[in-house]
Structure 1
């Protein structure tokens, strides 16, 4: 049986395992079952790919999306690994060839969708093959308590019954305690070992801004932090299909190559846009949550949210698509009270049980807590997933620009009293108008200019009152009526505040930024290459990579990752043996591309 470290070095081109990889791999190679929780970019795939090449037979990898399967197969084929995918994109003739190769022991890994795996005919085929292992990727899809439940995953428990001697490994980047328990039970993995590698992604910088013309805020962020149009790849998430298309069109008008992706687009359009995003550089994908799972593109430099995601799990999963290569990346979000109302309405109008709705409301409240915290955002995020004791990260907005807090008890009492006096029947705009003593038809119609709270809030402008109301919702002192038109309601928790028995601390939001992004002044993560000559060589190598990728019809990153090119730009190898020291260049890639790389370095230096 091949030694895992030898496979890692010769096939994948890495000198050593990271974190818990070695322990997981050894356990699976020896025939053990495992549930692996490992952050995106930490090398989850190696935890089943290396055992697949160590154990005898073909590894069957359950994957939920065709795009993910294809990405993985292309990358493995570049490494000289015999991998294939069986999915609806294959013709019947192609599928039969793959099945024959499985039976003949000519494949190392085969990727399949869960629906295909549980078909009687496919299970019969597997019984005619020697199976090395089963890997269940994106395993959180099996849990109804997770954020992306897929009912077809529930049938995967039969693997344990039909193939009891074949090791199984379930992998995910996103699962809190209850979800992990659910995964283990639903997949019959209670006896398997659990490997929890943690959730921290230190290369990602988290920033959350309050909405104040969100598109212009996005444009300032992209210009200041990511070089403007065409410079870097990223994803912009929106809640609705209409907003996706409007935002993509708006960015295109500013010179960005911006593509739309949502479930309402024709499938060929979605597929073409996804392929462009994967295979070209400098593309901004504007999308609903329909886009993302299985996006294996390592050089996504930013993920931006123009609306609140549904939960902290969803936020972590979506922002985790940035910086998979370990290089600096940004997670930026703009949010406002209207987002909270919309998500609350989605929960209220869903067909879920009351118990599920309670869970979803708790998840939304936890997300609001992250948005309104004055603490290190990374600490709050990691504590939600059960990781306590992390020091402040120094790489989020609240660490880089600490937020002042103040005794906001009197402001809170004024806001709560105004909600009460107006009958708990109005949203933020009207409540703020009453606090500011505005004279308009709506206030006169309801007689709210006669209330004791009329005009008692003139010490703050409207924007800051919106901040106060948001924070009162996040603190659970106010709720938003999801059955009607988003009116504020008092909660039982607010009574001690109104009676003067409880202090309320509020965060002091920074003033809105106009023009250049305030965060760009000396706050951007250090560039990977400090020498301009090295940076120029890096760009020269990227151009060579793009030419190869276009010629082969594959994404550039399956040929070489940016991290590999950065190593080459720093080390400037002259001889073939020098390439052995470059991370990500295994034997097959050195044999296939080694001379091309050496010629590119020599050609650049000879200019």
Structure 2
């Protein structure tokens, strides 16, 4: 039996494990249960795929989405591992063939949904020797998790039905309450909790407050232009928003599609397949999209609106840069998001806990400290150093004595009898002569137009800061009117001062043109650093990368695979950097396993030789 290290190198093409992977594998192979918390892109799959190849019996992976199963099966088959997915999308003849391969020992890893599992238990008990159950997206079992699914709660009977099998639960996001619930509901025995670092240093974190719809579109188009021919996801709060943003992008010349629960199953599947296979670069989606995406080369994730919780936000941004290459995440946030989400919270069955989660998300968006520190501390990973790769670290906010600005805003709210909301307050201060303002006589207030020299965008930003600082609060039960707090009254009547962060112009938030850099891989292929080099080298690398990308596309089309199943962008970059001209040299390329070297290594070597000759 080969060791875990030997399998890692020969099958997956890596020389060393990522943090905690080896420890988790050793624990599970010894026959003990495990709960694994590891961020998206952190290497969870390896933690059950290698034990599956070391166990004598079969490994059953319980996964919530059929699309994810297909991606995983394709990737495993490409590496020479016998894998299948038993699901309702298959023809009955195909499912019969899968059962036969399982009985014959040709399938080592079988994917199945929790719903289908219940129907297949008698057959599994009678015909298969199951060594391991790997439960992916395990937070779905908990009512405290951010994506609770009732069908997952039936998995608590696995130990009783299969007493000799080991159980491994895996998730990218779970707070303390959710972790405890997973362990209890799955009846884990002799288990160990593994919590990997939640730090994803390759992801930049950026929050942009108070943008109008037109400003959002301009910023999104700027991000897309920096990532030509690369994939990105834009998350929206509503179905209507996904369609509107997609239409605007299409009108601007970007090939984008909307994805939401209102589409038919066939329409959703077509959008997902087009995205996975790089036929479209941008998907504008509700949160329904993404859990089933194992696409490693998503270069940016944009949140058009504020998410409902840090768990949801973290999982969604985790879909960017799964290959470890630098990727962007941008969160747009304005007051209306809070109004909409607060209504959802109040109508939910778990008002208190959902309200608390939304509060934490709002604090993240409004914070003036390193955003990565906030995320890591939220997941219990204490961190006291700044990351250098978020908007706060890159553009530390300048502060000023904003007492007069705050007093103007509070006075406007007070003079209306505290019967106005966020946008009306800004309009009064700016001096906007709208029909509603004239109708209600607000244009006759002494505070009308007292802030005319401040832009509406900046007034929105300052009002958000006032909300965060506790000078005002929202009466959700009074049509979302703003109320002045006791602390706000102290500022209004001059008893204390107020400090605000300068509302920077949108242009100042845009990153300057980055220095030319190259990704450098260690032999494990699991970390990267960048260093400056000449623009000629950069052009050379990119030119060869594009040539190799065409070879990858051809191989993917021939096998009906997504391109990243052939080789990830990370492996392709390493290939372009090292430019091996012989089959033997491919063993030094991170992520090029023996099966892939045998199957299509020569095609890449030939392409590199042709490029060199040219």
Task: Tell whether the structures are fold-level matches, with TM greater than 0.5.
Answer: yes
Per-residue Cα deviation, 1:235-258 (whole angstroms, up to 9, x for no partner): 111111122112112111222111
Q: 1:569 to 1:455 in 2, by over 3 A?
A: closer
Per-residue Cα deviation, 1:189-248 (whole angstroms, up to 9, x for no partner): 3741011002111000111112433455444454356436x5211111111112211211
Q: 1:219 to 1:444 in 2, by over 3 A?
A: closer
Specify which of 484, 502, 513 is matched with residue 522 of structure 1.
Answer: 513
Contact 1:311 1:366 in 2 (8 A): yes
Q: Distance in 2 between matches of 1:372 and 1:279?
A: 37
Deviation at 1:373?
Answer: 1.6
Task: Tell me the TM-score normalised to structure 1 length.
Answer: 0.93
Q: 1:391 to 1:186 in 2, by over 3 A?
A: same
1:69 aligns with 2:69: yes
Contact 2:295 2:322 in 1 (8 A): yes
Deviates more, 1:581-590 or 1:54-63: 581-590
- Which runs of 5 or more residues in structure 2 are unaligned? 521-532
Deviation at 1:429?
Answer: 2.3
Contact 2:261 2:288 in 1 (8 A): yes
Specify which of 305, 310, 332 is matched with residue 303 of structure 2.
Answer: 305
In the alignment, which residue of structure 1 is the partner of 2:202? Answer: 203
In the alignment, which residue of structure 2 is the partner of 1:357? Answer: 351
Q: Distance in 2 between matches of 1:575 and 1:193?
A: 44
Deviates more, 1:39-48 or 1:574-583: 574-583
Count of aligned positions: 598
Specify which of 275, 292, 297 is matched with residue 273 of structure 2.
Answer: 275
In the alignment, which residue of structure 1 is the partner of 2:81? Answer: 81
In the alignment, which residue of structure 1 is the partner of 2:499? Answer: 505
Per-residue Cα deviation, 1:258-307 (whole angstroms, up to 9, x for no partner): 11111111211111111110012661111111111021110100011111
In the alignment, which residue of structure 2 is the partner of 1:16? Answer: 16
Task: Tell me the TM-score normalised to structure 2 length.
Answer: 0.92
1:431 aligns with 2:425: yes
Q: Distance in 2 between matches of 1:223 and 1:510?
A: 18
Deviation at 1:408?
Answer: 3.3
Q: Distance in 2 between matches of 1:499 and 1:167?
A: 66
Written as runs of structure 1 = structure 2, the 5 A alignment for 1:307-386 is: 307-350=305-348, 352=349, 356-386=350-380
Q: Residue 510 of structure 2 aligns to a residue in which SS?
A: helix
Deviation at 1:450?
Answer: 6.2
1:95 aligns with 2:95: yes
Q: Distance in 1 between matches of 2:141 and 2:373?
A: 28
Q: 1:225 to 1:401 in 2, by over 3 A?
A: farther
Deviates more, 1:234-243 or 1:179-188: 179-188
Deviation at 1:57?
Answer: 0.7
Contact 2:125 2:162 in 1 (8 A): no
Deviates more, 1:171-180 or 1:528-537: 528-537
Written as runs of structure 1 = structure 2, the 5 A alignment for 1:402-551 is: 402-436=396-430, 442-443=436-437, 445-448=439-442, 454=448, 457=451, 460-483=454-477, 485-490=479-484, 494=488, 504-513=498-507, 519-523=510-514, 526=517, 528=519, 531=537, 532-551=539-558
In the alignment, which residue of structure 2 is the partner of 1:393? Answer: 387
The root-mean-square deviation of aligned C-alpha atoms, in Å, is 2.4
In the alignment, which residue of structure 1 is the partner of 2:530? Answer: none
Deviation at 1:436?
Answer: 4.4
Deviation at 1:388?
Answer: 1.7
Contact 1:434 1:449 in 2 (8 A): yes
